Every structure is written in C-alpha cells, then in structure tokens.
Amino acid sequence: MAAEKLCSRGGQAWFCTTGLPSDVVIEVDEMSFHLHKFPLMSRSKKLQLLITQREEKQENGGEEEEIREEELHRIALPDFPGGTENFEAAAKFCYGVKVELNAWTVAPLLCAAEYLEMTEDMAEENLISRTERYLAQSVLRNIKESIRALKSCEDLMPLAEDLGIPQRCVDAVAARACSSDPTSLFGWPISDGSDPKDLGAAAVLWNGIDTGARRKIGTRSAAAAAADSWFEDLTILSLPVYKRVIAAMRSRDPNPSAIEGSLISYAKSSIPGLTRSSRKPSSAPLTSETEQRELLETVITNLPLEKSSGLVTPRFLFGLLRTVNILRASDASRSAIERKIASRLEKATLDDLLIPSYSYLVDTLYDVECVERIVRHFLELQEQRVASEEDEGGIESPEGNDTAVTAVGRLVDGYLAEIASDANLKVEKFCDLALALPGNARVYDDGLYRAVDLYLKAHPALTEGERERLCGVLEYQKLTLEACTHAAQNERLPLRAVVQVLFFEQLQLRRAVAGTVLASDATALRTPELVMASAAQPEESAAREGGVPWRATVRENQVLKLDMDSMHARVRELERECARMKRALERMGSGARARGLGLITRRFGCQFGAQVCDSRDRTVVESGQKPETLRTP
C-alpha cells in the first residue's frame, strides 16, 4: 500500500492513497495522519476504544452537527514512543504493508505495538508477536544486534524500561561477551568445520574421502578479529546505559580482557586527547567536563588493580592519569590509577613518565611528586608480592622481582636526567626521587651520575653543601672505570666527591691487577703438571716450556705486589693531603678549587685522559679534551 507524505510550512500531513476519503485523523507530535477507521480498529485495541468513545460522544452530545463531524475522528496521541516515523510504520502495518524489522527498529515498533495494544486478540500475527519473535530469535542471539537495539531504547524511556527491553538487551550483551565460546558472540559459527562439536577443527581429506582425522584451524584469530568490533559498538551507548552493561558483565565474573577491552575503547572514543599518538578525531560528540569526569571515574573504578590482561598498556594508564589531572578528578581516582600504573611500571617508557604539572601551586615543568608516589607504590607492591609468596609457601622468584626493580631503576635514572635541566627543580625533590629506590635497583650508578652531572651543569649557583648533598645519592663503588675517570676530572663535583671517586677508582684498578695476578698464579700452578705430563720429552724442552715462563711469572707477580703496596701508600697520602688542601681552600676561597684539583692529580702521579662514559655505550674521548656531560644515545 503506497502512502504519500505532504509537508507544508504551517505543519505536516500524511495521507493514505487508497482512493477513499479519510475518516479519522491521528495527531502525533506535529504530524497529522489522515487514515481510515477499519484498518486501525482491526489491529489496535487502543485506537478501537478511542474511536468508539468518540462515536458515542457524538451520539449523546448536543453540539452542532458540522462541528461534531469535523472533530469526530480527530484523535491526539501525546508522547507516542518513537515519534512520527514509528507511528507511520505501525500505521502501514495496519494497512497490510510489510514492515522491515532490524535491530534499530524492533524495539521502537514493539513499544508502539504495546502502546496501541496490538495483541493477538485483535488479529493473528499482530505486531506485538512479530516484534517479540524477531527480538528473541534474531537480535538477542547476536551481541552487535543487541547493542544496537539497546541504543534504540534510549529514546523510548520509560515505556521501554517498563516492558523490560533494555534489561533483556543488557543481559544478552553480558552473556555473549562473557561466554568462553567465541562463536556465541555473533550467533553463527566462524569455522568451516562440519561438526559443531569439533569447532576449530576441519576434516582431513584424502582424495576427497574423510579420514576421520581433524586439523586445527585459526578460529581463535578470526573470532578475536571479529570480537574487537563489538568493543567499538559499545561506544554508541550513553554513559548510564554503558554502566549497566559493565555492571552486568562484572556480575558474571568474565574474562577480564572483555571488560578491559570495552573500557579502553569507550574511553578513547569519548574522552578527547586521551592518547598522545592518536591523530584520528573522536567520532563521539564532545561531552561536558562533568560527563567526562564521570566517565573517567567509571573507567578507573572498573579497571582491576591487579595485572589481569595485556590489553591495558602503561601508555593508556598514563593517559588516564594526565586526564585525571586536567579534569581535576577525585583523589580516590588519582590514587587508584597511580596504583594501577605501579603494578606494571617496569613496562613503562620515559615518555610515559613525563607528566606535565597542571597545578599552579607547583612551579616545576613535570609532576615529580606524582612519579615519586608511583615509584613508592611499585615498591610496596613488590614487598606484598614477596610476602604473599612466602605465606603461600611457594618458591620465591627473586630474579623476576630483581629484573622488574632493575628496569624501574633504569627508568627513574633516565627520568632524573630528563628533568635535571629544570631550573625550578629543587635539590630536595631530586634527591628524594633518586633515593626512593633500594640499593639493588642499580647495578651501576653511571646513569644516576649522568643525571647528577646534568643537574650540576644546569644549576651552577648551588652552594657547596647542596653539591655535596646532591652527590650523596651516588654510590661511588658502583661507578664503572670510565665513569670514575670522567668524574675525577669533573670540575662541577665537590672536592670530597672527587677524592672518593679517586679512591674507588684505585680500588677498581687494584681489583683488576689482583685478577691478573690470580690468573697468572693459576697458570703457574698448572705449569708443573704440564712438565710432569711431558716427562718423556727431552730435558731441554721441559726447561724451556715449564721452567722459564714460571720463573718469569713469579718475578712479575712480585713487581705487581710492590706496585700495589706503593699505590696504597700513595692513596693514604693523598687523603691526608686532600684534608689539608680543603682547609686551605676554605680559607682562600673557592677560586683556588681548580688549581687544587690539578695539584691532586699531579701529586697522585697519574694522568688520565678525559673519557666520556655511558653505562650502555662504551665511547671514549681522546686525551686532552674537556670532560662533558655523560650522554646516552
């Protein structure tokens, strides 16, 4: 049945082109539908009752006939669910026109049918039964279709809620999302295997004959690729409806990846600027700051604190943290996201830690206090993990814990080197963050020494006490020989630090010499056995191979021991001389510091070329160049 819709500036009208004059006018919003009584009364109990009541009023009323005929069949339906388009579809159904049902139209048509009371008592295969059957058999068995139907219910409240349509859709989405069978997400099998009981396996054929064997096929990858799209489908839901879906999923105790994947997708599509690398504009309409704050707190609350899946990356968590600072979310949300970051801090990058400071009370470029809190949360989680392993009586894994702590140590050293050039960074904050990590977090202190050197270079006006406090974060015995050589000629270091560096440098040299001596002694002890094994050889050959090298090694060992004793005495003399020079320099002023440092080197009797060191890249600068700050590639 064809229908024509005529629109004018003064209003809108819809006429049914049956060739018969209309005898009833239904007003929905601003649209007037000129229809006929019989098709409507045969399908809708509500319209039948309204038309009958108007006819009875006409018969019993005392109004003029012309007015009664004009108003006889004019019926207003205020607040009709779904508006004029939905009523048009219901009216067409009354005229026998085939109505297209899909995920977007089934819920509005079901609400319209319930509103008009289009039950089976009026006619067989009426609109209520058809929409109910389609909803149950086609929509609720498919997660994507259920999400679309749920979205269409947002404009049908409260009638849709009274009919239970949103809750049925929410339960269907939660059930499909939490199902262990990936094929149940969409309601159809993904693999081509003929046996539904052997999903994920295909028949092995030989010359076209089924051998009965089965081979595995990539159903999981196909399911995972298809399931990712329903994360994006959930982003069309409003926040209150989306929170109902997440609550239903959590109540079913699902695989955490389903909830986390959904939260990530919804947050990225609804909060602009959540990720730095995302250049694609958000398709969702921009919400207010209050709505974004509510969404942010919802995402943080529903993210599990413990490590549950690999979908939530540190970059995404740091993006949430930056957004928390921008939107000024609650302290509970900030603490929760910081603890979540701490649980996987070892996988973060230096760029993640560079959190801008958004508070006008903080004068530094980056939020150093926030990073320090995250590091302390990380150490607390490490202690709790070790304690839980001990309580359970399991085998501890110190290597795994040490690896994570070491990775965080390198990360913090790089962060300190990055923020060292900030002119407003106080020595106290720098030292607090450097000392927050335990001693086993750093195998070598070269990275920390580089950060200290950069800080000294960017803050030339530091007092001697501040310099000594800054250098107090270093453990000089953990510096490599290259770093010691660089620090020994670094004029930015305080005198006490230079003396300690020289001392530990000589200890490293002593260990190196001692290692050479031990190796030589071991070779000498093995040499007589060689001579005994070759006793059958001529006597001259035995003396040449065994005796002469052994005597030469003994003489070299004696010379090395004498040199080490002499070096030890010179180090003690150097320490006494440095103490006297420090007192003299305090009287003379800081102008003689450079001359004093050169005197130390000359008095010690060793000249080293300036070498720029790095704990990851062994690069050496030729002798005679001025020492510069340690650099990493």
d(CA 355, CA 373): 13
Quote the pLDDT of residue 211: 42
* Residue with the two structure tokens 């955490």: 256
pLDDT in tens, 234-280: 889 999 999 999 999 888 866 677 888 888 888 888 887 776 554 45
- Please count the other Cβ atoms lying within 10 Å of the Cβ belonging to residue 118: 27
For residue 343, pLDDT beyond 50? yes
Specify the pLDDT at position 531. Answer: 41
Q: For residue 479, give the nearest of 464, 459, 458, 493 by alpha carbon.
A: 493
- Tell me the mean pLDDT in the region 476-480: 86
pLDDT at 146 over 90: yes
The DSSP line for 514-570 is HHHHHHHHHHHHHHHHHHHHTTTS-HHHHIIIIIHHHHHHHHHHHHHHHHHHHHHHH
Distance of alpha carbon 119 from alpha carbon 380, whole angstroms: 64
Higher per-residue confidence, 461 vs 227: 461
pLDDT at 406: 92
**Percent residues over pLDDT 70 in the chain:** 64
Q: Could you report the per-residue pLDDT of 120-139, keeping only the tens digit for each?
A: 988 888 999 999 999 999 99
d(CA 171, CA 163): 14
- pLDDT of res. 497: 83
User: What CA–CA distances, in Å, run from 209 to 195, 206, 212?
Assistant: 16, 5, 9
pLDDT for position 537: 47
Query: Residue 167 — pLDDT band, cuts 50, 70, 90?
Result: very high
Lowest-pLDDT choice from 157-171, 526-540, 607-621: 607-621
- In 40-123, the DSSP E strands lie at 74-76
**Secondary structure class of 74 (helix, strand, coil):** strand
Q: Tell me the C-alpha distance between 278 and 96, whole Å.
A: 51
DSSP per residue, 3-35 = EEEEEETTEEEEEE-SSS---EEEEETTEEEEE
| Least confident segment among 421-430, 440-449, 615-624 | 615-624
Identify whether the C-beta of residue 88 lies closer than 8 Å to the C-beta of residue 82. no
How confident is residue 216, by pLDDT bands cut at 50, 70 and 90?
A: very low
543 band by pLDDT with thresholds 50, 70 and 90:
very low
What span, in angstroms and rounded, lies between the C-alpha atoms of 604 and 491? 17
Residue 319: partners with Cβ closer than 8 Å, 6 or more residues away: 274, 275, 276
Name every residue whose Cβ is closer than 8 Å to that of residue 432 and which is 6 or more positions away in sequence: 372
Q: How confident is the model at residue 566 (pLDDT cuts 50, 70, 90)?
A: low
Query: DSSP H helical segments within 239-313, as ranges?
Result: 239-251, 256-270, 289-302
Which of 197-206, 545-554, 598-607 bottoms out in mean pLDDT, i.e. has the lowest?
Answer: 197-206
**Mean pLDDT across the stretch 589-614?**
47
Section 316-344 average pLDDT: 90
Contact 509, 533 (CB under 8 A): no
Are 409 and 442 a contacting pair, CB within 8 Å?
yes
Between these two residues, 196 and 309, which has the higher pLDDT value? 309
Q: What is the pLDDT of residue 622?
A: 40
Cβ atoms 289, 327 nearer than 8 A = yes
Q: Please check whether residue 146 is in contact with residue 66, taking contact to mean a CB–CB distance below 8 angstroms.
A: no
Backbone phi and psi for residue 516, each to the nearest 5 degrees, phi listed first: -65, -40
Residue 548: pLDDT band (50, 70, 90) is very low
Looking at the predicted structure, is the pLDDT value of residue 394 above 50? yes
Place of tokens 């052994």: 550
Q: What whole-number distance in Å separates Cα of residue 348 and Cα of residue 338?
A: 13
- Residue 560 in this model has a pLDDT that exceeds 90: no
pLDDT averaged over every residue in the chain: 74
Pairing of strands 209-216, 201-206: antiparallel
pLDDT for residue 447 is more than 50? yes
Confidence of residue 54 (pLDDT cuts 50, 70, 90): confident
Q: What's the whole-number mean pLDDT along residues 34-53?
A: 87
DSSP letters of 181-221? -GGGGTTS--S--S-GGGTTEEEEEETTEEEEEEEE--HHH
Bridge partners (DSSP) of residue 203 are 214
What's the confidence (pLDDT) of residue 480?
86
Please compute the mean of the pLDDT values over residues 369-389 and round it to a whole number: 89
pLDDT at 604: 47
Q: Are 497 and 487 in contact (CB under 8 A)?
A: yes
Sheet holding 11-16, edge to edge: 3-8, 11-16, 31-35, 24-28, 74-76
384 pLDDT more than 90 = no
What residues contact 111, with CB distance under 8 A and at least 6 apart? 81, 82, 86, 156, 159, 160, 163, 165
Rounded CA gap, 393 and 585, in Å? 60
pLDDT at residue number 328: 87
Q: What is the helix (H) or strand (E) element at residue 150, kind and residue range?
A: helix 143-152
Lowest pLDDT segment from 45-59, 167-181, 502-516, 609-623: 609-623
